[in-house]
Amino acid sequence: MRNTRLAAVFAVLLLALASVAAIGCGGGDDSTTGGGSGSETSGGSGGGEPLTIGSDIPYPPFEQGKPGSYTGFDIELMEAIAEKMGRKAEFTDTSFETIFRDVAQGKFEAVVSAATITDEREKAVDFSNPYYLSEQAVLVKEGSDIKSLEDLDGKTVAAQQGTTGLELAKEKLGGSEIRPYPEGPDAVNALKAGTVEGVVIDAPVAQNAVEKSGGVEIAEKVPTEETYGIAVGQGETELLDEINKALKEVEQDGTYKTIYEKWFHLEPPKEIESETHEAE
Amino acid sequence: MSEFFHQYFDFTVMGDHFSEVLEGFFKNLLLFAVVVLLALIWGLVLALIRQLPGKKFAPLRFLTIAYIDVLRAIPILIILLLISGGIPYLNFIPKDIRIPHWFGQPDPFWYSVLGLTLVYGAYMAEVYRAGIEAVPGGQFEAARSLGMSYGKAMRHVVVPQAVTKIPAPMLNEMISLLKDTTLASVVALGESVLVSREILAESFNSSAVILAGVMFLVITLPAARLVDVLIKRNQAKVSRGAHIEVA
Amino acid sequence: MTDPMIRLDGIHKRFGALEVLKGVDLHVAKGEVVCILGPSGSGKSTFLRCVNLLEPPEKGDIFIEGNDICKGSGTGEESWKLDFVRQRVGIVFQQFNLFPHKTAMQNVTLAQEKVLGRSGKEARAKATELLERVGLGDKLEQYPERLSGGQQQRVAIARALAMDPQVMLFDEVTSALDPELVKEVLDVMRELAEEGMTMIVVTHEIGFAREVADRVIFMDQGVIVEEGPPAEVLENPREERTKQFLGLVLER
ipTM of predicted assembly, 2 dp: 0.87
Q: Indicate the pairing of strand C215-220 with strand C223-228.
A: antiparallel
Beta bridge partners of A216: A141
- Nearest by Cα to A230 from A157, A194, A175, A280: A280
**Gap between the Cα atoms of A79 and A60, Å rounded:** 17
Give SS3 for A134.
strand
Q: What local confidence, expressed as pLDDT, does residue B40 receive?
A: 93
Q: H/E element holding B243?
A: helix B207-246
Query: How confident is the model over A59-114, as pLDDT tens digits?
Result: 888 998 888 889 999 999 999 999 999 999 999 999 888 899 899 988 999 999 99
Of A12, A97, A182, which has the smallest distance from its Cβ to B226's Cβ?
A12
Query: How confident is the model over A133-159, as pLDDT tens digits?
Result: 878 889 999 888 888 888 999 999 999
Which carries the bigger pLDDT value, residue A15 or residue B182?
Answer: B182
- Asked whether the beta carbons of residue A12 and residue B223 sit closer than 8 angstroms, the reply is yes
* Whole-Å CA distances, A275 to A77, A106, A129, A227, A269: 16, 28, 7, 9, 10
Question: Does the beta carbon of B209 lie under 8 angstroms from any beta carbon of chain A?
Answer: no
- Find the mean pLDDT for residues A177-199: 89
- Asked whether the beta carbons of residue A190 and residue B219 sit closer than 8 angstroms, the reply is no
pTM for this structure?
Answer: 0.70
Beta bridge partners of A232: A110, A126
* Contact of B168 with B234, CB cutoff 8 Å: yes
Question: Does the beta carbon of B164 lie under 8 angstroms from any beta carbon of chain A?
Answer: yes
- Asked whether the beta carbons of residue A6 and residue B167 sit closer than 8 angstroms, the reply is yes
Question: Does the beta carbon of B231 lie under 8 angstroms from any beta carbon of chain A?
Answer: no
For A34, counting Cβ atoms within 10 Å of its Cβ (0-12 exposed, 13-18 middle, 19+ buried), the class is exposed
Which carries the bigger pLDDT value, residue A51 or residue A47?
Answer: A51
Question: Does the beta carbon of A7 lie under 8 angstroms from any beta carbon of chain B?
Answer: no
Chain-centroid distance, C-alpha A5: 50
Instruction: Say which residues have a Cβ less than 8 Å from residue B104's Cβ, sequence separation at least 6.
Output: none
Per-residue confidence at A248, pLDDT binned at 50, 70, 90?
A: very high
Per-residue confidence at C2, pLDDT binned at 50, 70, 90?
A: low
Query: How confident is the model over B109-118, as pLDDT tens digits?
Result: 999 999 999 9
Of A97, A100, A158, which has the smallest distance from its Cβ to B188's Cβ?
A158
Chain A hits for B217, CB-CB cut-off 8 Å, are 27
- Asked whether the beta carbons of residue C145 and residue B160 sit closer than 8 angstroms, the reply is no
Of A17, A25, A161, which has the smallest distance from its Cβ to B18's Cβ?
A25
Per-residue confidence at A226, pLDDT binned at 50, 70, 90?
A: confident
Tell me the pLDDT of chain C averaged across its residues. Answer: 88
Q: Which amino acid is at B37?
A: L
Question: Does the beta carbon of C125 lie under 8 angstroms from any beta carbon of chain B?
Answer: no
- Asked whether the beta carbons of residue B198 and residue A195 sit closer than 8 angstroms, the reply is no
Give SS3 for C225.
strand
Task: Enumerate long-range contacts of C78-83, CB under 8 Å, 24 or more apart.
Answer: C79/B149, C81/C53, C82/B144, C82/B147, C82/C53, C83/B147
Counted across chains B and C, CB pairs separated by less than 8 A come out at 67
Question: Does the beta carbon of C252 lie under 8 angstroms from any beta carbon of chain B?
Answer: no
Q: What local confidence, expressed as pLDDT, does residue A27 receive?
A: 36
Query: How confident is the model over B133-148, as pLDDT tens digits?
Result: 999 999 999 999 998 9
- Asked whether the beta carbons of residue A20 and residue B18 sit closer than 8 angstroms, the reply is no
Which carries the bigger pLDDT value, residue A280 or residue C230?
Answer: C230
- Nearest by Cα to C121 from C139, C109, C131: C109
3-state helix, strand, coil in chain A (%, to 5): 40, 20, 40
Closest chain A residue to the Cα of B210, Cα to Cα: A28
DSSP B121-183: HHHHHHHHHHHHHHS-HHHHHHHHHTT--HHHHIIIIIHHHHHHT-HHHHHHHHHHHHHHGGG
**Is residue B241's pLDDT more than 80?**
no
Query: How confident is the model over B42-60, as pLDDT tens digits?
Result: 999 999 999 887 778 889 9
Give SS3 for A52.
strand
**Gap between the Cα atoms of C50 and C75, Å rounded:** 10
Instruction: Say which residues have a Cβ less than 8 Å from residue A127's Cβ, sequence separation at least 6.
Output: A115, A117, A121, A229, A230, A231
Least confident range from A16-25, A59-68, B157-166: namely A16-25
Question: Does the beta carbon of B201 lie under 8 angstroms from any beta carbon of chain A?
Answer: yes
Question: Does the beta carbon of C180 lie under 8 angstroms from any beta carbon of chain B?
Answer: no
